[in-house]
C-alpha cells in the first residue's frame, strides 16, 4: 500500500511543477526489455523548478510515465503520449516541443496525429544522437588503429565528442545549437585541405572522414543545400535557424529575410514588426544580461515576441534524459523483480529516476 501512495503524491508534485514552470517539452524513448516487452518512457522537460532566480538557464527532466505497449507504431506511440498528457492535465496549447530519436514511426506519429493536437509545438530529433551517428564514421574509416591513427582520431574526433557533451548539458542552448553544428561542419571542411600524415593512405582516410562527416551533418541540418540525399533530416532544422532571433547577441547580425520565421509556431506579422524594433533594443542592452533578464526588460515593449521567446528558448535540443530513464528502468527491472506487476515497476522507475533531480 505504501508504494502507490508515494507514487501518487509524486505525480501531484509533478502536476504542480508543470503549473509553475509555464514551459513544457516532452521527450520520449522506447526499448524492448528482458521479457521482450515494448516499453515507452515519457518525460517532461521543465524550466525553473528551483525558482526563477535559482538558475536562469536551468532545465530539468522528470519521468512522467513508463508505458507497456503491445506493438510499437505511430498509432500506439501517439495514443500513449496523449494519454500521458491527459493524466497530468497538460494544456495541449502549452506544449512547446516533442523530442525523440529519428525513427520513422515516431515522425509519423507527430506529423499525422500529435502535430494537430499540439499546434504550438515543434518536433526535434535529438541532436546528440545525430552527432553520434556522424562520429561513427571515424570508427568505420579507421577499423584498425595504430598509434598515429589513434592520435588523429583523438585530436579531431574529440570535437564531435565535445559537441555531444554540449548538447547533453542541462542548460538553455537551443538558440546556439545550429551555430555549433555549422561551426563543426566548417572546421571539417577546412581540415580537408590540410596535411595530417606523411603516409598517403592515412592522409586519404582523413580527408575521406572529414568529407563524410561534414556531408552527413549538412544533410541533416541543411538538407536543401546538400548534394547528399538522406532519408533522415533534423525535422526542426528550420526552427533551429529561426530561434536564434531570440538571442540578443545574434539577432543584430542575422539576415531575417533568409530565415523561415514561420517555423516558430505563432510567429506572425506583429512579431515580425516587433522583431525589427527589438534589434535596436538588443544593441543598447548589456551583453552580460541573461536571456531571462533581457526578455523581462523587453516584454513591456515587445509582448508578442517576448512570449514566444519564453516559450521556445527552454526547448531542449536532445532526448538524452529519456535514454537515461531507460537505464533507470534497467536498474529497477532486474532478474529478481521480473515477477513484479507492471504498475509497480512503473512507479519504482519514476521514483528512482526523479529522486536524482
Contacts of 219 (CB under 8 A, 6+ apart): 226, 228, 229, 230, 233
Q: What is residue 122's three-state secondary structure?
A: strand
Contacts of 257 (CB under 8 A, 6+ apart): none
Look at 197-211, 250-264, 325-339 and tell me which has the smallest mean pLDDT.
325-339
Q: Is the pTM of this model over 0.75?
A: yes
The rounded distance, in Å, linking the Cα atoms of 341 and 325 is 19
- For residue 120, what is its C-alpha cell? 504550438
CA distances from 268 to 117, 170, 271, 274 (A): 20, 30, 5, 10
Tens of pLDDT, residue by residue over 31-54, are: 888 778 898 999 999 875 444 443
What is the model's pLDDT at position 227? 59
- Residue 323: pLDDT band (50, 70, 90) is confident
What is the model's pLDDT at position 135? 92
- Which residue has better confidence, 226 or 201? 201
Pinpoint the alpha helices (H) of 23-173: 74-87, 104-109, 115-117, 127-141, 147-167
Tens of pLDDT, residue by residue over 9-26, are: 999 999 998 888 877 899
Tens of pLDDT, residue by residue over 217-272, are: 999 998 776 555 556 789 999 999 999 999 999 998 999 998 999 999 999 999 99
The rounded distance, in Å, linking the Cα atoms of 318 and 64 is 17
What is the model's pLDDT at position 51? 42
The rounded distance, in Å, linking the Cα atoms of 101 and 22 is 25
What is the model's pLDDT at position 160? 93
What is the model's pLDDT at position 270? 92
Over range 152-162, report the average pLDDT: 89
What is the model's pLDDT at position 116? 95
* Other residues' Cβ atoms within 10 Å of the Cβ of residue 114: 23
What phi and psi, each to the nearest 5 degrees, are found at residue 333?
A: -90, 65
Over range 196-220, report the average pLDDT: 90
- For residue 347, what is its C-alpha cell? 512507479
Contact between 171 and 59 under an 8 Å Cβ cutoff? The reply is yes
Domains along the sequence of the chain with CATH: 2-126+319-354 (3.30.420.10), 127-221 (no CATH), 247-312 (no CATH)
* Other residues' Cβ atoms within 10 Å of the Cβ of residue 295: 21
Instruction: State the chain's mean pLDDT as an integer.
Output: 87
Contact between 349 and 329 under an 8 Å Cβ cutoff? The reply is yes
The rounded distance, in Å, linking the Cα atoms of 28 and 106 is 10
Tens of pLDDT, residue by residue over 288-318, are: 778 888 998 899 999 999 999 999 998 988 8
- Residue 55: pLDDT band (50, 70, 90) is very low
Tens of pLDDT, residue by residue over 95-134, are: 999 999 888 999 999 999 999 999 999 999 999 989 999 9
Size (the chain), residues: 357
Share of the chain above pLDDT 90, in %: 50
Amino acid at each position: 500500500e505504501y508504494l502507490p501512495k508515494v507514487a501518487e503524491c509524486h505525480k501531484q508534485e509533478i502536476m504542480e511543477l508543470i503549473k509553475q514552470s509555464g514551459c513544457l517539452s516532452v521527450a520520449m524513448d522506447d526499448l524492448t526489455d528482458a521479457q521482450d516487452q515494448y516499453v515507452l518512457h515519457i518525460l517532461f522537460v521543465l524550466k525553473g523548478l528551483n525558482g526563477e532566480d535559482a538558475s536562469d538557464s536551468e532545465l530539468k527532466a522528470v519521468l512522467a510515465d513508463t508505458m507497456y505497449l503491445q506493438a510499437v507504431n505511430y498509432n500506439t506511440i501517439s495514443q500513449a503520449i496523449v494519454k500521458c498528457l491527459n493524466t497530468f492535465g497538460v494544456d495541449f496549447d502549452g506544449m512547446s516541443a516533442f523530442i525523440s530519436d529519428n525513427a520513422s514511426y515516431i515522425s509519423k506519429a507527430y506529423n499525422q496525429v500529435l502535430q494537430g493536437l499540439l499546434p504550438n509545438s515543434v518536433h526535434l530529433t535529438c541532436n546528440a544522437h545525430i552527432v553520434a551517428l556522424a562520429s561513427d564514421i571515424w570508427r568505420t574509416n579507421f577499423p584498425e588503429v595504430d598509434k598515429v591513427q589513434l592520435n588523429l582520431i583523438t585530436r579531431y574526433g574529440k570535437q564531435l565528442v565535445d559537441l555531444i557533451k554540449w548538447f547533453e548539458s542541462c542548460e538553455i542552448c537551443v538558440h546556439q545549437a545550429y551555430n555549433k553544428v555549422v561551426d563543426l561542419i566548417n572546421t571539417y571542411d577546412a581540415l580537408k585541405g590540410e596535411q595530417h600524415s606523411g603516409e598517403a593512405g592515412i592522409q586519404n582516410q582523413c580527408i575521406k572522414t572529414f568529407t563524410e562527416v561534414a556531408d552527413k551533418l549538412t544533410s541533416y541540418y541543411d538538407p536543401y543545400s546538400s548534394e547528399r540525399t538522406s532519408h533522415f533530416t533534423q525535422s526542426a532544422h528550420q526552427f533551429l535557424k529561426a530561434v536564434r532571433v531570440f538571442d540578443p547577441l545574434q539577432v543584430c547580425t542575422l539576415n531575417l529575410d533568409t530565415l523561415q520565421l514561420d517555423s516558430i509556431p505563432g510567429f506572425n506579422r506583429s512579431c515580425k514588426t516587433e522583431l525589427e524594433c527589438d534589434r535596436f533594443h538588443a544593441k543598447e542592452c548589456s551583453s552580460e544580461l541573461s536571456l531571462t533578464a533581457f526578455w523581462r526588460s523587453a516584454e513591456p515593449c515587445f509582448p508578442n515576441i517576448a512570449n514566444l521567446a519564453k516559450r521556445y528558448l527552454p526547448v531542449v535540443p536532445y532526448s538524452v534524459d529519456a535514454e537515461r530513464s531507460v537505464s533507470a528502468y534497467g536498474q529497477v527491472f532486474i532478474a529478481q523483480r521480473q515477477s513484479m506487476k507492471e504498475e509497480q515497476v512503473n512507479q519504482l522507475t519514476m521514483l528512482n529516476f526523479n529522486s536524482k533531480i
